């Protein structure tokens, strides 16, 4: 990769993994505005797919697999995961050509917030134990991300 097409793609930030230095170690290239929509598409599709799995588990596992009130909590987390997975796919498609910093921040916040919120709720649903501030932090990040997206779209209009 020292020369040629791969090296120039690495310099432009289009490859997530680039060879660095004389010993050929791989390092993550800086995420760019060009790579984020693709990441949102992939993560959104994975979120919708795993959300479907979580919905099946929440519907069919015995009550002993859940903590107190866990089945309802798992359904709630699955709903949030599915809706935000679909939103990430739509966002990835819609920002393929035009984007701004607020939209990029909002999309990334949606992804991270969804992982924190749903992860915290699933953990509590299946174990009965709470990880303090994980779900509320994720939920707050989701709210702020939707507001950033709205501001980014207003600004772009």
- Give yes or no for a contact between 106 and 84, defined as CB atoms under 8 angstroms apart: no
What letter does residue 2 receive in the DSSP assignment? -
Any residues with CB less than 8 A from the CB of 97 and at least 6 apart, and which? none
Q: Quickly tell me which residue has 């749903």 as its tokens.
A: 118
pLDDT-derived band at 99, boundaries 50, 70, 90: confident
pLDDT-derived band at 95, boundaries 50, 70, 90: confident
pTM of this structure: 0.77
pLDDT exceeds 90 at position 27: no
Are 104 and 149 found together in one domain?
Answer: yes
Structural domain for 4, as ranges: 1-30
Q: Quickly tell me which residue has 């596992």 as its tokens.
A: 61
Closest of 68, 64, 40 to residue 130, by C-alpha: 68
Are 7 and 51 found together in one domain?
Answer: no
State the average pLDDT over residues 10-23.
50
Are 25 and 69 found together in one domain?
Answer: no
Are 24 and 77 found together in one domain?
Answer: no
Are 10 and 62 found together in one domain?
Answer: no
Are 69 and 138 found together in one domain?
Answer: yes
């Amino acid at each position: 990769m020292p020369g040629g097409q791969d090296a120039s793609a690495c310099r432009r930030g289009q490859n997530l993994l680039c060879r660095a230095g004389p010993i050929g170690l791989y390092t993550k290239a800086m995420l760019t505005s060009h790579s984020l929509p693709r990441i949102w598409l992939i993560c959104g599709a994975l979120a919708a797919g795993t959300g479907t799995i979580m919905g099946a588990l929440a519907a069919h596992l015995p009550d002993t697999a859940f903590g107190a009130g866990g089945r309802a909590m798992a359904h709630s987390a699955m709903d949030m995961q599915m809706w935000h997975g679909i939103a990430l796919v739509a966002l990835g498609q819609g920002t393929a050509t035009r984007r701004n910093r607020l939209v990029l921040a909002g999309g990334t916040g949606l992804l991270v917030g969804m992982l924190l919120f749903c992860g915290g709720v699933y953990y509590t649903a299946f174990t009965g134990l709470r990880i303090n501030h994980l779900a509320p932090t994720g939920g707050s990040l989701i709210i702020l991300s939707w507001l950033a997206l709205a501001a980014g779209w207003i600004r772009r209009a």
